[in-house]
A and B are shown apart, each in its own frame.
Chain A
C-alpha cells in the first residue's frame, strides 16, 4: 500500500495553504488557501482510511466537504460585506483595531 506519497502530497498542500493564509492579502485567495488545507486533510483521511481498511476515513472526509461548503459560503458573504462597505477586499486594510 502506497501511503507515504499521499501523506507527502497532503503535507505539501497543507504547507501551501498555511502559507497562503498567512501571506496573501486578497480575501478570496485566503479563502482558497483554507480550502487547500481542508483538501490536504481530506487526502490524509481517505489515504489513512484505505490503509486501515475502514470506511470511517471517507465518512469523515464527506463531513469535511459538506461543512467546508457551509464555511466558505459564510466566508464569501463576509468578504462581500467588507467589499460593500470598503470597496476593497484587501485584508491588510482592515485594521481599525490593533490587537
Chain B
C-alpha cells in the first residue's frame, strides 16, 4: 500500500479518448439503465428490461461502426487499452452474438418464470467484459475483463435455481473457471516478474530478447496457456464443458459455447501474437498437442452421444480444436503467421453464426417435444420442414460441407497449416482432415433422424416458433449461407483486423 500511495503522488489524470471508449460507455449506461428499470418496474412488465437491453446492444454497435469508419488506431493508458481494427471486429462479433442470444432467450426466460431482469443484466455485464477483452493489451486489463465476463456467466449457468442439474452445471463451471483463472494469474505473475511490465507490447519486446530465455518465462507462458485452455474447453481441460452445457438453460449454453469461448480465443490471440511471439518454441508445441487432442477426443466422444445438447457440447469442444490449429502453426514463418491469424478470426466469426443457429433450432424443437434426445428429432421433416432444413444447414456447415460457411472456415484453417509448411503443421492438417470426416458421421446422424425416421410419438402438430426466435434463426442462417456463397467479404474482414506485431 505504501508504494502505491507514494506512486500516486506522481499520478496524473490519464488522457482518455472518449470516442474510442464510446461502445463500452454506452453499454455501461444501458447496464445502469436496465438495473434501475428492473428494480422499479412491476412484475408484469419485466419484458421491458429485455427490450431495452436488446435496443442498448444495437445502440452500442453504432459507435463501433463509427470507429471502424474512422479507421484510426487509438491507444491509451500507455498502450494498455487499444482500439484497432481487431478490437472493433471482435466487439462487433460479441455485440451481434449477444443480440442473437437475447433474441433466443427472451421467450425462454419470460415463459419459464425465471428472473427476467437480472438475466439481461448479467448477460450484458458479461458482454461488457468481452468488449473490454477485445481492446485489452495489458495483463491487468485482460484479467479484469476475463473476470467481468466470467462471473456473470457462472451465475447464468445456474439460472434454474431449483433444478439440481442446473446447480451442478453452475458449480462445475464455477470451480473449474476459478481454478483456471487462478492458474492463469500465477502465470501472469511470473511473466510480470520476468519482464517487469504488464503491458503486452513491452512484454513482447522483453520476451523476444534475452529475458525470454529464462525458464520462468517458459513456466509463465505454460500456466497462462493452460488457464485459457480451460476457458476455451480444450482437451484435457474440457471436463466441465459437456456437463455445464447440458445443465445450463439452453440459451445460456449457446452463449457460453460461442461468446465465452470466443473471448478466450481473443485473449489468447492477443497474448500470443503481441506478448509471447518471441518464444514460438514454447507455445507452438503446446498448442499443437492441445489442438490435436481437442479435435480428436471431442469428435470421438461426440459420436457416442444420444442427447443433441451433449453432442453439440462435444462438437463445440472439437471446433475449439480446429481454432487451435492456426495457433499451433503461427510461429513457423511470417507468411504463416498472417494467414493463421486471419484463419482463427474467420473461424471464430463463422463458428458463432452456425453454432448459435443450431442451438436456436434445439430450443425451437424443445418447445414442443420437451426433450433434447436425438431420437425425439425423428420425422421432424414431416411436421417442421423449415426447421429441418435450417438445422441441416447448420449441421452441415459445422461439418464443413461446401458451399456453406463452415466449409470456408475449415479451408482457411488448412491453408494456414499448409502455409506453415513444416512437417508438424502438415501432420496437424492431416489430423484435422481425418477429424472432419469423423465429425460428418454424427452430424449426419441427426440429419438422417430428421429426414428419414418416423415420428416417435406420432404427434405431427406443427411447432410454433415465436418471432424473436425466428429472427435469431433468420439472422444466423443468412450469415451461414451468405458467407458460404460469398466468402471473400469475411476473408477481407479477417485480413483487415490483423494484430500488428511488436
A23 to B158, CA, bound (A): 24
CB-contact partner of B198 in A60, A64, A79, A94, under 8 A: A60
Asked whether, in the complex, the Cβ of A96 is within 8 Å of the Cβ of B165, the reply is yes
B13 interfacial contact with A, CB 8 Å:
no
B151 touches A71 (CB 8 A): yes
The verdict on B423 contacting chain A, using a C-beta distance below 8 Å, is: no
Chain A residues whose C-beta falls within 8 Å of the C-beta of B114 in the assembled complex: none
19 A-B pairs (CB sep. < 8 Å): A10-B189, A18-B179, A41-B188, A41-B189, A44-B189, A47-B193, A50-B3, A52-B193, A55-B3, A55-B4, A56-B192, A59-B140, A60-B188, A71-B151, A81-B167, A82-B171, A94-B167, A96-B168, A97-B243
- Whether a CB of chain A sits under 8 angstroms from the CB of B405 is no
CA distance A27 to B178 in the complex (A): 13
Contacting pair B162 A85 (CB below 8 A):
yes
Cβ of B51 < 8 Å from any Cβ of A? no
| Chain B contacts for A50, CB-based, 8 A | 3
A1 at the interface (CB under 8 A from B): no
Which one, B7, B161, B193, B240, contacts A55 given CB within 8 A? B7
A99-B240 contact given A50-B3, A59-B4, A81-B158, CB 8 Å threshold: yes
Within 8 A of B (CB), among A69-92: 70-71, 74-75, 78-79, 81-82, 85-86, 91
Contact with B along A28-60 (1 / 0, CB 8 A): 001000100110110011011111101111111
- Residues on A with beta carbons closer than 8 Å to the beta carbon of B175: 21, 30, 91
When chains A and B are docked, how far (Å) is the Cα of A34 from the Cα of B238? Answer: 19
Known: A56-B197, A99-B243. A64 touches B185 (CB 8 A): yes
Please determine whether A51 and B193 come into contact, CB atoms closer than 8 angstroms.
yes
- Check A70 against B147 for contact (C-beta < 8 Å): yes
Closest A residue by C-beta to B175: A30
What are the residues of chain A within 8 A of B3 when measuring CB–CB? 49-50, 55, 58
Q: Is the CB of A74 within 8 A of B174?
A: yes
- The interface size bin for chain A is 35 or more
Set A48, A63, A97: member contacting B168, Cβ < 8 A: A97
Decide if B192 touches A37 in the complex (CB within 8 Å): no
Question: Which residues of the other chain, B, contact A58 by a CB distance below 8 angstroms?
Answer: 1, 3-4
Q: A49-B3, A55-B7 are in contact. Are A40 and B186 (CB under 8 A)?
A: yes
A48, B192: Cβ atoms closer than 8 Å: yes
Kindly list chain B residues whose C-beta atoms are within 8 Å of the C-beta of A7.
193
Of A75, A78, A79, A81, chain B has the most CB atoms within 10 Å of the CB of A78
Residue in chain B with minimal CB distance to A82: B167
Q: For residue A37, which residues in chain B have a CB less than 8 angstroms away from its CB?
A: 179, 182-183, 185-186
User: Smallest Cβ distance from B47 to chain A, in angstroms?
Assistant: 26
List 4 A-B pairs, minimum CB-CB distance, nearest first.
A48-B193, A44-B189, A52-B196, A55-B7
If A54-B196, A78-B170 touch, whether A86 touches B164 (CB-CB below 8 Å) is yes
Separation of A45 and B197 alpha carbons in the complex (Å): 11
